[in-house]
Structure 1
Amino acid sequence: MTMGDEGRSYTVDDALLALGFGKFQILVLVYAGIGWISEAMEMMLLSFVGPAVQSAWNLSSHQESFITSVVFAGMLIGAYSWGIVSDQHGRRKGFLITATVTATSGFLSAFSPNYITLILLRSLVGLGLGGGPVLSSWFLEFVPAPNRGTWMVIFSAFWTVGTIFEASLAWIVMPKLGWRWLLALSSLPTSFLLLFYKMTPESPRYLCLKGRTTDAINVLETIARLNGTKLPSGILISDHQIELQNIDNPSEDTVLLSPRKNEVEIPKGMVSNLGGISSLQVLLSPELRRSTLLLWAVFFGNAFSYYGLVLLTSELNGHSKCMPHKLETEKSQDVSYKSVFIASFAELPGLLLSAVAVDKLGRKLSMSIMFFMCCIFLLPLTFYLPEDLTTVLLFGARICITVTFTVMYIYAPEIYPTSVRTTGVGVASSVARIGGMLCPLVAVALVHACHQTVAVLLFEIIALLSGICVMFFPVETMGQELQDTVSSLKPTNNV
């Protein structure tokens, strides 16, 4: 693009497209993926630690459920808070704080002397885990638009690795060493984020948005060097400057960001320096309101369904006191490990489906179809069925919800501009944690109370409504470039 006498210029999207997906992005993928593995492990261990602690400390069922609920409560607060920190102070600072909180509190919780201490430390783990969306947004901002869907699916595969690894670890560690060792070992992956933190780059999109163009160019040059490619010729400019120039001075030369000028004036429409309340107002602005409200509903439904299915896997297989031919024995715990381990592998075909569908069918159609398919798999579970058939149906439902969960985490960062991207995804993740806190009441409490039909029907309703909400999303982001400013979006207030 030629801009008057200044010669050629390029945006961050142009640069990423020219630099391609290479060695640099692979390193970023591995780093962010370790964080995703860590979060998956910390979430999966909830299926094992609660029952073990209840047995060891003679806790009530409500106290056992609270061990899970406080993690989601911490995540609710953390997802919102770390998103704001990341949008205001950078992606790197965001995941540095979250990794420190998660690793420290996760390891210390293994030494909890009593129930209250365990609850406090696990809530801090949840607070740190709330920063997961920061890493996904950080990785996303290094990926060229044509490759985004495929590579975000690959990124999501790290979650599946984490779930399978945690199920395997629990199966090996719990019977011999107990829950404390499981907590300690599960906190180790997060420590790797801290070890290699100094090597991580800041997002060039974020730097450019902040006017730190020299820093952005330095990062882009590093990408070019590692990938063996070259930056486009010209001067790096930001999207918001193009928009301002087109509006205010359409006939004059655009004021470009040059490497010699490290600070630029941030337009009034930008929200990268605003506080949490102002950022939330932007998420509910006419341009974003419809997308935000629908996103909240789908994140809630996704989390409610996903974590509910994880818990149902152990609750419906070998633990139901309502089925006389299935008595609870000492071996029931082994059945739990085995069931969760098998169900975790359902995420592998789910990821393969995601990879095929996300850039073939698009984000919206992929999610809506899988939500409706999940309903079909769950419907027979309104009745008591043989264990093998129950496992098969839960396996199918887990595949479907893995697809929706994976595609949702690709779609969510894409619909928000850079100025509020991690805040937007963070707030949506906070809403998801509400679903996570409520699902144990359904998956555990109702099933234990011999209300399996009611529990499954509730999951049916949530999944169905989520699929309908997906159909009303105003935009399909497949193949589209990421936006940097709210002003570049079209209003979506027709809800």
Structure 2
Amino acid sequence: MEAHFHVSHDSDDEAPCKEKKDDVDNPEIADFEKAISLTGYGKYNYLLLLTAMIGTIGHQCDLNGVSFLLPSAECDLHLTQRDKGLLNAVIYIGMISSAFMWGFLSDTFGRRIPITVAYFIDAILNICSSFAQSFWVLLVIKFCTGFVICGPVSMVKAYLAEFHGQSSRAKVMMCTGVFASSANVIIPGLAWIIIPQPWSWELFGGYIVYNSWRVYVLVCAMPSLLAAFLMTFFLESPKFLMAVGRNEQAIDVLRSVYRINTGRDAQTYPIKVLIHRKMSIIEETPSKMIANKSILSVLKQGFAKIKPLFKLPLLPKILLVFIIQFGTLFGLSTLRQWLPQIFATMQEYTHIQESMNVSIVGVSLCDMLEYTRFQNTTEVRLEGTGHCSVTMVRVARRPCGIHWRNPRYHTSSVLNTHAVKQLEMN
């Protein structure tokens, strides 16, 4: 027997749960999948995808943008190779430290508000980082950036999925991968255009010299700021609202999406009653949870939701997911984070040797890296060579983004014609 909720239009209180035998035959009763499919696919979905694309560019700027500014920021901030490694890693440390917190916030307060707030804070932190005058200040800000941006990185995907039915959900998830890969083409392009510029402004009586790499960091903050602004115009996830028993509001959201997508009056939306296919409904809304319980109790309830992940039967599956994700990111990110520095090192070594009329024939990459490391450690700079690298060769990383984007695009096409289960590992 299935349980459903009748929605009362006279009150915002949760409708009582009743059992009926004719749920399937009643055209005004539907579960989430049927209800979301009847809203159609139109303007709302396209605008949501556009906003997700802008937000994805924003968090990709956080994850990958640092590697492009390091060769140029080296002189201003007196960075060693160790410092550069820490700056590349600290964002991921911040993400790891806040991952479970964002999952709890997402399931407690919904999707839209945490995403909006996180993008706004991320933009402010990035703007502040463009004024950083020391390695330690930049390191702390980048840790905070990673701590904050971890939320939108995962929540945007859930938010997108919960506004799409089964027929388009897999394709939309692949689109988020395309957005990320496209961002990996855009970010090096921005670095290539902005960082080599001879821009320099003295601020606060010369205390801050605002040059091109700082402008690059400022520009990288704009996608997150724009995404935060655009998110204010969207609605809360109807699936989340159903999960916390707020079916009245879920119906209103579905009606609004239906009106925007179809151009018809919201009252013509055919579904009047939402039902749950599974009896796993959270009885308390987030506001009631906080009002009726202490913060400690709320945190304990949050950890109680996480504990099943580390117990049978979920533990083997979650470990498999962790291993796959770790291996994928380890292979993808390790070299990618250092490519701009490697290219800058090659350019600097070539420039130094040519200025000394020394041939570089037969010199390996290891020789170049070792020579540059020695110079950095002993702070030896030959006259005329101690410059900040603004090499144009770093644009060579752009084809990598193009190659990553193409498989994701073709995968989304395959998902439209084949069952999703055929692509999953059982």
TM-score (normalizing by structure 1)? 0.63
In structure 2, what is the equivalent of residue 166 of structure 1? 187
Q: Tell me if the contact between 2:57 and 2:180 (Cα under 8 Å) persists in the aligned partners.
A: yes
CA displacement, residues 113-157 of structure 1 (integer Å, 9 cap, x when unaligned): 211111111111111210111111101111110111212222332
Q: Which residue of 1 aligns with 2:274?
A: 236
In the alignment, the residues of structure 1 paired with residue 326 and residue 419 of structure 2 have an alpha-carbon distance, to the nearest angstrom, of 21
Query: Is 1:356 matched up with 2:356?
Result: no
Question: Is the counterpart of residue 38 in structure 1 residue 58 in structure 2?
Answer: yes
1:305 to 331, 334, 339: 331
- List alignment gaps of at least 5 residues for structure 2: 3-18, 200-211, 289-297, 350-359, 373-384
Partner of 1:412: none
- Match of 2:363, as an amino acid? P
Q: Which residues in structure 2 correspond to 1:223-302 (within 5 Å)?
A: 223-228=257-262, 231-241=269-279, 275-302=301-328
Structure 2 residue matching 1:112: 3-state secondary structure = coil
1:130-141 map, 5 Å: 130-131=150-151, 132-141=153-162
Match of 2:48 among 15, 20, 28: 28
CA pair 197-353 structure 1, distance change in 2 beyond 3 A: closer
Specify which of 196, 203, 206 is matched with residue 240 of structure 2: 206
* Aligned residue number for residue 21 of structure 2: 4
Counterpart AA for 1:89? F
1:67 aligned residue: 87
Structure 2 counterpart SS, 1:175: coil
Of the three residues 240, 247, 251, the one matched with 1:217 is 251
> For residue 239 of structure 1, what is the amino acid of its counterpart?
R
Question: Could you tell me how far apart the structure 2 residues matched to 1:54 and 1:291 are?
Answer: 43
Aligned ranges 1:179-194 → 2 under 5 Å = 179-194=213-228
Stretch of structure 1 that moved more, 354-363 or 79-88: 354-363
Given that residues 30 and 274 in structure 2 are in contact (C-alpha distance below 8 angstroms), is that contact kept between their aligned partners in structure 1? yes
CA change 1:237–1:273 in 2 (3 A) is farther
CA distance in 2, matches of 1:25, 1:291: 32
CA deviation after TM superposition for structure 1 residue 288, in Å: 2.8
1:19, distance to aligned residue in structure 2 (A) = 2.3
Q: What residue is the counterpart of 1:103 in the other structure? A: 123
> Cα gap change, 1:5/1:27 in structure 2, threshold over 3 Å: closer, same or farther?
same
Following superposition of structure 1 onto structure 2, how do residues 329-340 of structure 1 map, counting pairs within 5 Å?
334=391, 336-340=393-397
Where structure 1 has 5 or more consecutive residues not aligned to the other structure, the ranges are 245-256, 258-262, 264-271, 367-470, 475-495
Relative to structure 1, the CA distance from residue 54 to residue 331 in structure 2 (aligned partners, 3 Å threshold; closer, same or farther) is closer
Cα distance, 1:303–1:349 mapped onto 2, change above 3 Å: same
Per the alignment, in what secondary structure is the counterpart of residue 324 of structure 1?
A: coil
- Residue 363 of structure 1 and its aligned partner are, at CA, apart by 6.1
Aligned-residue RMSD, C-alpha:
3.2
Amino acid aligned to 1:4:
K
Pick aligned residue for 1:14 from 29, 34, 37: 34
Q: Whose Rg is larger?
A: 2
1:349 aligned partner, one-letter code = N
1:343 aligned to 2:424?
A: no
SS in 2 for 1:155: helix
Q: Is the 8 A contact 1:53 1:179 kept in 2?
A: yes
Deviations 1:419-446 (A, max 9, x none): xxxxxxxxxxxxxxxxxxxxxxxxxxxx
For residues 234-289 of structure 1, give each alpha carbon's deviation from its aligned partner in whole angstroms, at most 9, with x where no partner exists.
51112334x79xxxxxxxxxxxx9xxxxx9xxxxxxxx996342122122343533
Distance 1:195 1:222, change over 3 A: same
Residue aligned with 1:118, SS:
helix
Q: 1:206 to 1:14 in 2, by over 3 A?
A: same
Label 1:357 to 1:5 Cα distance change in 2 as closer, same or farther (>3 A).
Answer: closer
* Worse-superposed segment, 100-109 or 173-182: 173-182
What is the 5 A alignment of 1:446-485?
473-474=425-426
Counterparts of 1:173 and 1:207 in 2: how far apart (Å)? 44
Contact 1:37 1:162 (C-alpha < 8 Å) held by counterparts:
yes
Any conservation in 2 of the 1:101–1:124 contact (CA below 8 Å)?
A: no
1:142 and 2:163 correspond = yes
Q: Could you tell me which amino acid in structure 1 is paired with residue 258 of structure 2? A: A
Cα deviation, residue 357, structure 1: 4.0
Return closer, same or farther for 1:70/1:362 CA change in 2, 3 Å cut-off.
Answer: farther
Asked if residue 124 in structure 1 is aligned to residue 144 in structure 2, the reply is yes
CA–CA distance in structure 1, aligned partners of residues 190 and 241 of structure 2:
40
| Secondary structure, counterpart of 1:113 in structure 2 | coil
- Pick closer, same or farther for the CA change 1:365–1:56 going to 2, 3 Å: farther
- Whole-angstrom CA distance in 2 between matches of 1:104 and 1:224: 35
Match of 1:324 among 352, 363, 369: 363
Bigger share in strand: 2
Q: After TM superposition, where is structure 1 displaced by more than 3 Å over at least 4 residues in a row?
A: 229-234, 272-276, 311-323, 325-333, 356-366
- Structure 1 residue 302 displacement after superposition: 1.8
Provide the rounded CA distance (Å) in 1 between the counterparts of 2:343 and 2:299: 51
Aligned-partner Cα distance in 2 for 1:71–1:90: 25
Query: Residues 115 and 315 from structure 1, CA distance in 2 versus in 1: closer, same or farther, beyond 3 angstroms?
Result: closer
Structure 1 residue 197 and structure 2 residue 197: aligned? no
1:236 is paired with a residue whose SS is strand
Offset from partner CA, 1:61-107 (integer Å, 9 cap, x none):
11111111111111112332212101111111221231122111111
For residues 365-404 of structure 1, the aligned pairs below 5 Å read: none
User: 1:54 is paired with a residue of what secondary structure?
Assistant: helix
Aligned-pair distance for 1:171? 0.4
- Find the aligned partners of 2:30 and 2:139 in 1 and give their Cα distance: 51
Could you say which residue in structure 2 is the equivalent of 1:427? none
Scaled by the length of structure 2, the TM-score of the pair is 0.72
Q: Does 1:175 align with 2:193?
A: no
Cα offset, 1:205, TM superposition? 0.4
